[in-house]
Structure 1
Amino acid sequence: MTPSRFLVLSLTFLGCRGPDNDKDDSGTDPGAPPIITVSLSPSSGVTPNETLTCTASVEDPDEHAVSTSFTWSVDGAAVDATETTELESALAGAFAGGQEVSCTALAEDETGLQSSASATTVVVNQAPEATDVVLDPDPVTTNTVLRAAVTASDADGDPTAVTWSWSVDGAVVQEGEDDSLDGATAFDKGQEIIATATVTDGTDTATVASAPVQVQNSPPTAPEVAITPGAPGAGEALVCGVTADAIDDDSDPLSYTVAWSVDGSAWGSGEDASDPDGEPETTTLEGDTVPAGTTTYGQSWTCTVTASDGEADGAAGTATVTLPDCAYGESEDCPGASCADILTAAGGSGLADGVYILEAGAVSGAPYEAWCLMDTGYDGGGWTLIATYASDGTTTWTYDARRLQDTDTRTVGSISAIEQDFKSPAYHDVLATEVLFLHAPSTIWASYAFDASSPTTLGQEVLDAGGPSTRRAGTGLAMVAGTLTAAGNLNETALYFNANDPDGSYPANTWGPTWNASFNNAVAFDDAANSSIGTESWVPDREINETEGGSGPVRGVGWAYATGDSVGPAGSGNDYLQAFTR
């Protein structure tokens, strides 16, 4: 914009003569008034901070002595001169663009005759200056909030305002007073951004643009990582997995690299690999598995997973597990979660049957001793003994005390006498998906599977079965493995719970595990208590295996009476049925 510039020069001549043919009262001719002209410098293009000089030129026709005086005004309002001499007056600039500045000079001769002249100019506005636009941060990535700052000044001291125009790849995407641009919505990797600032003082403007910046690649974030198992035993395989993927703001496809270290030193990476020797295997991600048999007591293993988008690696996600300083399950410092976990930690074989230490549970409240069936001949081993139902002369597993089999968490007996009535804290503390029953002295056994997707306890299975109810043959839990066969009075090898005795005047209903056998009458579950763990509703305060059978085969030790494998006599301790879970 080009401001208007103009000079208004007005000359006013004032003279004073008396009446009667220009004579004064004495009749004398007073003569002519002084002649005065005025000029301003500069006469045009005056800036707000410039000093104006007003110069008077005076001539008296009568050659009288003449004196001069000056007055200044800005937009009609009188102001004081900065400096004045006989024929010059100066006014220092403190103006605003568009203001009108006037200087008037008055000349008076010694006779009192006067004349004056004025000069006027208009102050012009100076446009602001804008010299540089800086964008921050640098570099910029996809989700950066980019901010702009402009270097600007105004020679007139006028207040300035800035508006911004943001362009991405040459197209304007945002205009206004906002000095920031959010990459989450406005730009992507590889695009070019320019910010243009327009600075105004209210009258004139100045425009300056930033240097173009290109949106750089965003490295991926760190993935979330976990090692399984979280509490490994010596020799157990370790698998490093990504539990939450890395995030790439550019939506680039990602790949993962897995590296292992043991006790702070790289493992499985060539020349830098430390003992133990070996190389990782692959389960899901390349190199994500430390093979079984590699780890040992007291080691600390760390897996590091790094995501790459093909241009850059992101931050690493790490996970660490520390192996106990002792064998899993050998002491309270190294308790196992179950006998199966202890066997797995040892590589799945090679452990003896016997007492091991399991970790605290809701019932135990502290690490405790448990008896483990580690013999792999029993469907792979790793079975935790939870109960013994013995014909030992002790009344424990009665119908009146049937809550011991489901909600009553009391323990029974001693870990040192597992051939007698016994109930371990593991009965309620160790969740399982399988149960195994083993009869002694015959060593006949059978295993069964619960719902594999929902680990539970034998007690919960008993409680959920409800009853006692009439059970239909062929609807029980099918035997998975074992040496039990449907022989003698045993109709099938399936496992049932809480069965009614369907016939006779003396209902031998039962609670807990039972098997389908027929005795006096050829019906399923006839005298159900005979093939139970000893619980009988007909005489609810006794165990049938303590009283029935006399000196002959004992009843109520599972399937053994039906198959002819119990030996008796009742109460002798020769017969017992043990329950294990895994």
Structure 2
Amino acid sequence: MFKTASLAPLGWRLVLGLIGAVALGACSGSDGPDDVPCSEDDPCPTGQLCSADGVCRPAPPPDAAAPLIDAAPGSSIDAAPGSGIDAATPLIDAGPGPDAEPSPDAAPVCDLCDPDATCAEVGDGYECVCNPGFFGDGTTSCVPTGSCAEILAMDPSALSGLYAIDPDGDGVGAPAFEVQCDMLREGGGWTLVLVSSDDGTDTWTMAARTRMTTDTAPIGDVHVLDRDFKSPAYHALAFRDLLFVHVPSGVTAEYEGVGDGSGDVGSFLGALPYPVCDLTLAGNGHALTGGSLTATGQLCDTDLYFNLGDHESGEAVCQDPRAGANTASFGPVWNMGNNNGCPFDDPGLASLGPQDQCAQCGPGTDTTEHEGVGFGTPLNLNTGDPGSGENRMLMFAR
């Protein structure tokens, strides 16, 4: 007959420990009893882990690892406590984020890109894509076109802005250069060739009129269009049509068929006589084919003319630009009726700047860029501050 008092506390723990070890061993695969003291030098049996309080405890079963789920890119997953997984570490590779550097797999492709191409991620890989305005396979070639019209023809979705063109052909003659393209107005495909701005600078003058004909030096900056500007395209782009855009009014005037497509604007203008004193020409210039220009105020008609002499004192005075009050013009000009009415009275006031030194004109007239800004003066459109560049005319060719 056993007495309860004869079962010492240690004996009970030993018995219960053996029972628990058998039970836990069946579930967790532990090879030893729990709560056995342990240390780095005295490790636990197989299937147990040394706990923080220095005794052996059953190791978590294999299924206690983190759940097997598909994490969406950018999601955070809380790992189960004790799983051995850092909760801050994604369980799957969610792929590169939007600001990640290109994958190393892209290097072999990107290294082959043409200098005028960009290595872009396309689908599951990378491709060399020609930059806007350049066309080709992206690797062996990316070639600029000859004009904004060609860009629009090859890419009807092209937007207005800066592009590189090479009118004389890639690798031939002059290198490609940057231009402003207008892809919206009057059918698009327009290349900006000149800006006449009332900016306080005497660029477009009668004394320097070769800047509009044989002097091919560019003027200004293609990125600064409220100042006088002349693109290399003025002397390089074969053209047929011209478009004029007045700022700040936004009034436009399109003239198709001015050129024949074989020469540039400078060559075209240089081949015209000066001064033009044919009174029968009135109303028979280059007809307006598009835009918002209308003949009101002092504007006699909407036609485009070139190199007009002043007709107010008759043909003899007109033929002598320095006689009397002859305010002759050079370059693009519109038919204005000033103090002596229509046609062709004081055309220098409706030009893009040049006016000759007539006998009654003030000193320095031929070295001054006059602020008419084309049809801006006869229509009273020049509402910006004088000399600030707010009043200007943009000239495009196509």
TM-score calculated relative to the size of structure 2: 0.58
Query: Equivalent residue for 2:78?
Result: none
Shift of 1:334: 2.9
Query: Equivalent residue for 1:578?
Result: 394
CA distance in 2, matches of 1:439, 1:487: 16
Query: Equivalent residue for 1:476?
Result: 285
Conservation of the 8 A alpha-carbon contact between 1:360 and 1:368: no
Query: Equivalent residue for 2:264?
Result: 457
Matched, 1:466 2:273: yes
Conservation of the 8 A alpha-carbon contact between 2:312 and 2:344: no
Query: Equivalent residue for 1:380?
Result: 187
The structure having more radius of gyration, on CA atoms, is: 1
2:380 to 564, 568, 575: 564
CA distance in 2, matches of 1:531, 1:390: 13
CA distance in 1, matches of 2:252, 2:312: 29
CA distance in 2, matches of 1:452, 1:360: 16
Q: Which has the higher helix share?
A: 2
Shift of 1:454: 4.0
Matched, 1:359 2:166: yes
CA distance in 2, matches of 1:575, 1:451: 25
What is the SS of the residue equivalent to 1:529? helix
The amino acid across from 2:285 in the alignment is: G
Q: Alpha carbons of 1:369 and 1:456: their partners in 2 closer, same or farther (altered >3 Å)?
A: same
The amino acid across from 1:559 in the alignment is: F
Q: Deviations over 1:500-552 (max 9, x none)?
A: 0123632111110000010111131111111000111021101111xxxxxxx
Conservation of the 8 A alpha-carbon contact between 2:304 and 2:333: yes
CA distance in 1, matches of 2:258, 2:309: 24
Across the two proteins, how many residue pairs are aligned to each other? 247
Shift of 1:329: 1.4
Q: Alpha carbons of 1:406 and 1:442: their partners in 2 closer, same or farther (altered >3 Å)?
A: same
2:367 to 525, 533, 541: 541
Which residues of 2 match residues 272-311 of structure 1 at below 5 A?
none
CA distance in 1, matches of 2:168, 2:197: 26
Q: Alpha carbons of 1:412 and 1:453: their partners in 2 closer, same or farther (altered >3 Å)?
A: closer
Query: Equivalent residue for 1:341?
Result: 150
Q: Deviations over 1:110-130 (max 9, x none)?
A: xxxxxxxxxxxxxxxxxxxxx
Shift of 1:457: 2.1
CA distance in 2, matches of 1:467, 1:521: 22
Q: Deviations over 1:184-242 (max 9, x none)?
A: xxxxxxxxxxxxxxxxxxxxxxxxxxxxxxxxxxxxxxxxxxxxxxxxxxxxxxxxxxx
Q: Alpha carbons of 1:453 and 1:466: their partners in 2 closer, same or farther (altered >3 Å)?
A: closer
The amino acid across from 1:541 in the alignment is: T
CA distance in 1, matches of 2:258, 2:205: 28
CA distance in 1, matches of 2:201, 2:377: 19
CA distance in 2, matches of 1:359, 1:457: 14
Conservation of the 8 A alpha-carbon contact between 2:194 and 2:395: yes
Query: Equivalent residue for 1:269?
Result: none
Query: Equivalent residue for 2:334?
Result: 515
TM-score calculated relative to the size of structure 1: 0.40
The amino acid across from 2:366 in the alignment is: P
CA distance in 2, matches of 1:503, 1:429: 37
Which residues of 2 match residues 187-206 of structure 1 at below 5 A?
none
5+ residue gaps, structure 2: 1-116, 119-127, 136-140, 314-323, 358-364
Which residues of 2 match residues 64-213 of structure 1 at below 5 A?
none
Matched, 1:527 2:315: no
CA distance in 2, matches of 1:455, 1:475: 23
Shift of 1:461: 2.6
Matched, 1:424 2:231: yes
Q: Deviations over 1:147-168 (max 9, x none)?
A: xxxxxxxxxxxxxxxxxxxxxx
CA distance in 2, matches of 1:333, 1:530: 46
Conservation of the 8 A alpha-carbon contact between 2:259 and 2:268: no
The amino acid across from 1:502 in the alignment is: H
Conservation of the 8 A alpha-carbon contact between 2:309 and 2:344: yes
The amino acid across from 1:425 in the alignment is: P
The amino acid across from 1:329 in the alignment is: G
Q: Deviations over 1:438-475 (max 9, x none)?
A: 10011111111236754332223322221112143022
Q: Alpha carbons of 1:360 and 1:519: their partners in 2 closer, same or farther (altered >3 Å)?
A: closer
Tell me whether 443-452 or 494-503 shows the greater mean CA deviation: 443-452
Shift of 1:580: 0.4
Q: Alpha carbons of 1:421 and 1:371: their partners in 2 closer, same or farther (altered >3 Å)?
A: same
Instruction: Give the alignment's Cα RMSD to 1 decimal.
Output: 2.4
Percent identity between matched residues is 35
Shift of 1:330: 4.8
Q: Alpha carbons of 1:441 and 1:414: their partners in 2 closer, same or farther (altered >3 Å)?
A: same
1:437 to 244, 247, 251: 244
Query: Equivalent residue for 1:506?
Result: 325
The amino acid across from 1:429 in the alignment is: A
Query: Equivalent residue for 1:326?
Result: 130
